[in-house]
Amino acid sequence: MKIATFNINGIKARIEALPEWLEQARPDVVCLQEIKSVDENFPREVFEALGYQVETHGQKGFNGVAILSKLPMTDVVRGLPGDDSDEQARWIEATVQGARKVRVCGLYLPNGNPAPGPKYDYKLAWMARMEARARTLMADELPLIFLGDYNVIPEAQDAAKPEAWTTDALFLPQSRAAFRRLEHLGLTDAFRIQHPGPGHYSFWDFQAGAWERNNGIRIDHLMCSPQAADLLMSSGIDKAVRGGVKPSDHVPVWVELDA
């Protein structure tokens, strides 16, 4: 089972690049972030024609997440539990049925800048809620994967220029500590465990020639529960997508599970 995450930065803007990547990479399941669309306007027929079942959790203008699955997908939950007053569409989960069942949680973690401030408070509160949700789901001891745009640079080696991020919400100690708490629950950063060392990025800013200078950061992650990590076969970052026509500022990251 090939499972991928891709922050597409607008479904309308990526309506050609996304199907092109899907046909080339052929993932079974894809979690999308920043669809920037309400559910009614998501072009689901484009992806149904490619064999995908489509579940969205959108909102007007920004944010918005979705899951595309070639495998049967059931038990969809929209919105991160734990705060009924949270209006932002940043979480969607579902169970997909391959050779084994896998619970897939697609997430778009808040950016949090500027820090300190209310946006950073929201980020940290959101991460605490996510940790609570992870505890709940992990109690079942089933294959479980939390994937998406975490907006967290876990370590200095995950940035080309870590010194430029020291006061940024993506790299502040509290953000990284919250990420580590997820790891301490027993979640494994699937890409990192298979690809040690610097130079692996999933985001390059549109500005200042970041792509041409390879000034990137690794902020899109797939975190596996112990039962999912036991099924981990391979993982990768589809870096070449960033050099394609009308690219997003993020690229797809994926794992293959023996499931």
Partner DNA sequence: ATGCCGATTAGTAATCGA
Which of 147, 231 has the CB closer to DNA?
A: 147
Instruction: Consult the annotation and say whether 121 binds a ligand.
Output: no
Nearer to DNA, 72 or 198 (CB): 198
Q: Is 149 annotated as a binding residue?
A: yes
Q: What is the CA radius of gyration of the chain?
A: 17
52, 120, 149, 158: the catalytic one is 149
Q: Which is nearer to DNA, 15 or 233 (CB)?
A: 15
For residues 194 and 132, give the distance between their C-alpha atoms in angstroms, rounded to a whole number.
27
Q: Is 151 annotated as a binding residue?
A: yes
Q: Is the peptide bond before 198 cis (omega within 30 degrees of 0)?
A: no
Q: Could you tell me the smallest distance in angstroms from the CB atom of residue 36 to DNA?
A: 4
Selected catalytic residue, list 52, 108, 120, 201:
108
| Binding stretches for DNA (CB under 7 A) | 7, 9-13, 34, 36-37, 60-63, 110-111, 113-114, 119, 149, 151, 164, 168, 170, 203, 205-208, 217, 219, 246, 249
Decide if 29 contacts 69 (C-beta within 8 A): yes
Residue pair 100/231 in contact by the 8 Å Cβ criterion: yes
Question: Which residue(s) pair with 102 in the sheet?
Answer: 96
Tokens of 38: 């309400």
Count the alpha carbons within 13 Å of 10 in the hemisphere toward its beta carbon.
Answer: 9
Question: Is residue 108 annotated as a catalytic residue, yes or no?
Answer: yes
> Are 76 and 103 spatial neighbours (Cβ–Cβ below 8 Å)?
no
To DNA, the closest distance from the beta carbon of 208 in angstroms equals 3
Q: Closer to DNA by CB, 40 or 139: give it.
A: 40
Tell me, yes or no, if 250 is annotated catalytic.
yes
3-state secondary structure of 177: helix
Residue 238 falls in the annotated catalytic set: no
Minimum distance from CB of 13 to DNA (Å)?
4
Q: State the number of CA atoms in the 13 A half-sphere of 163 facing the CB.
A: 0
Active site residues: 108, 149, 250
Residue ranges of the binding site? 7, 34, 149, 151, 249-250
